[in-house]
Amino acid sequence: MLRYALRRLPSALLVLLVASVLVFGVLRLAPGDPAVVLAGPDASPATVAEVRASLGLDSPLPAQYWTWLTGVLTGDLGTSFILGAPIATLIGHGLGNTLELTVAALLLAVAGGGAAGFALGTARRPAVRGLVGGAVNLALAVPPYATGVLLVLVFAVALPVLPASGHESLLADPVIGAQYLLLPAVCLALPTGAVLARFLATALRRAEQEDYVRTGHGKGLPRRHLLARHVLPGALPPVVTVLGIQTGQLLGGAIVVEAVYAWPGLGQLLLQAVLGRDYLLVQDLLLFAVAVFVVLQTLTDLVQARLDPRVRMGGAG
Amino acid sequence: MSAVVAVRGQVRRVTRSRALVAPAARWGLALVLLLTLAGVAAPLLTPYSPLTQGPEALLGPVPQHPLGTDEFGRDLLSRILYGIRLDLLVAATAVPLGGLAGVVLGVLCGLHPALDVVLQRVFDVMLAFTALILGVTLAAILGPGTAAVFWTVAGINVPLFGRIARDAVRSEQDREYVLAAVALGAGRPRILFGEILPNILDALVVQAALSLSTAVFVEGAMSFVGIGVSPPTPSLGALLRTGATFLDDSPAYALGPVAVVVGLVIGFNLLADGLNKGLLKR
């Protein structure tokens, strides 16, 4: 197991390193001089030079990259120009809100998607399979921004029972906080739950055809027992992988859902940074997003290796 | 040798003709064709330009404006029809571009093990930028706009097609027709591009249908959050973005683009599902 982890780690670190160079390059590729943008339209050349020096933009590129990277690794993310606050504080605040949203969505997706997938994979009546399958396909196809708009129309405009947008801390007031959380969490959970349901259903059907399950049928075990003790455990490994990959995608999905519901999370912060040309903030947030994805993917691979000896013994490919 | 080739050809033809027999594929194709036709025939279907402003803003559906008007009195039906045009134009150009680049890179993986390792890491890095994160990155470089959407859609397809092509090449390596070509003295590039590539087309066609659906999805998401197609150009995502701000006054405004986006995404998904069953029998 440890050997597998050690083999998997270098490529994850390499991906992160290359991504950090790319993200750093974003700022240099962008047309226009960030110092000119930051100094404002009427700034004198002297002011622009001053801003450039204060940002460290006058040193050579490799030196700038090194300063940025060592800063990030030691927890010094710099200061946001448009918001005038330390970026670490901004990310910390946004991350709390985004985590609240994604964790709620993940719980809903696992519960709903798991139930739907189990029904879809084991139901014998065609009517049940058709109904659940149709619902899953629909949840998969409707993009979160469309779901978001529809949910607001139904639950905030037509039947005004939930707030249309905004955020209230769950810790300060659990009831009000949950009211604000419900629509965005459902919106983010639907596609994830649908993917989960599909994979679980396929894995269940495949597992039910395995020889050991047929043996169970042959010796007269009740189907309920077979499903719970033999079919489900056999079906879980691929579902774990999908869950890991989907969790990595949630941050991207959060950008859209946070925009629909004006949820003050990392997605909103990132959009604000891009539209306000706050290059350092963009750089830090993009690296953060990529790092989250890579870490989750590596963890998923490790869990997979733990569940399936073939993976950890297999070749490097 | 020729007999074998002839039989293979027949088998292929049978499965290809059966590809669209799956009902899902036919419904998907019908939905996609209907919406595409509506976009292409936009000038015939509506007398209004999507950009001409009118005196009556935020009208509900009336006979002159079947879907109502937007906040500048522009006809919403024409804006949606021209929006379909833009979405499908981006999808139909960016997906083949990114897909082609990915297939070439993926097939090249079969040339040399060292090249395979390098290109695999390249795909890994590209995949680490998930669709919207890549969109934000490109919007930061190019500025928000249709170009950013185009390159995002092209970019996300490179590693997707690349991986499929690479894996397919690896699993075809030891098939008899490849060994036959080797025995006949064909060179490595000739075998990869001349022999193996035509035989993995089915998997690529299925991915293409899925990618078209993703393209519509990504355009909608980027324009909706304000880093994609910008005003006054109509696109489905851009319409949804403004429509979402008038939900109280004019719910019909947002519902039109929602219906079309969902129709296109479902259409392409059904098509991909059907093709998957028909061509790959998975």
Check: CB of residue B176 under 8 Å from CB of residue B113: no
At A36, the pLDDT band (50, 70, 90 cuts) reads: confident
Q: Which one of B133, B225, B265 has the shortest CB-CB distance to A259?
A: B225
**A180-190, pLDDT tens digit by residue?**
999 999 999 99
Question: For the whole model, what pTM was predicted?
Answer: 0.89
Measured CA to CA in angstroms, residue A130 lies from A120, A121, A284, B25, B262 at distances of 8, 11, 46, 17, 20
ipTM associated with this complex: 0.88
For residue B20, the model assigns a pLDDT of 62
| Helix residue spans in A161-221 (DSSP H) | 174-208, 211-218
**A62-73, pLDDT tens digit by residue?**
888 999 999 999
pLDDT > 60? residue A104: yes
CB contact under 8 A, A255 and B124: no
Q: In Å, how far is A164's CA from the nearest CA of chain B?
A: 10
Q: What percent of chain A has pLDDT over 70?
A: 98
CB contact under 8 A, B136 and A253: no
b vs e for B59-89, b when ≥16 Cβ sit within 10 Å of the residue's Cβ? beeeeebebbbbeeebbbbbbbbbbbbbbbe
For residue B266, the model assigns a pLDDT of 92
Across the A/B interface, how many CB contacts are shorter than 8 Å? 123
For residue B18, the model assigns a pLDDT of 59
At A253, the pLDDT band (50, 70, 90 cuts) reads: confident
Q: In Å, how far is A184's CA from the nearest CA of chain B?
A: 15
Q: Which one of B124, B131, B258 has the shortest CB-CB distance to A15?
A: B124
Which has more pLDDT, A263 or A34?
A: A263
For residue A111, the model assigns a pLDDT of 96
Computed over every residue of chain A, the mean pLDDT equals 88
Computed over every residue of chain B, the mean pLDDT equals 88
pLDDT > 90? residue B94: yes
At A317, the pLDDT band (50, 70, 90 cuts) reads: very low
Is the CB of residue A142 less than 8 Å away from at least one CB of chain B? yes
CB contact under 8 A, A145 and B220: yes
Query: CA B246, CA A153: separation in Å to the nearest integer?
Result: 10
SS3 A100: helix
- Spell out where B117-176 has E strands: none
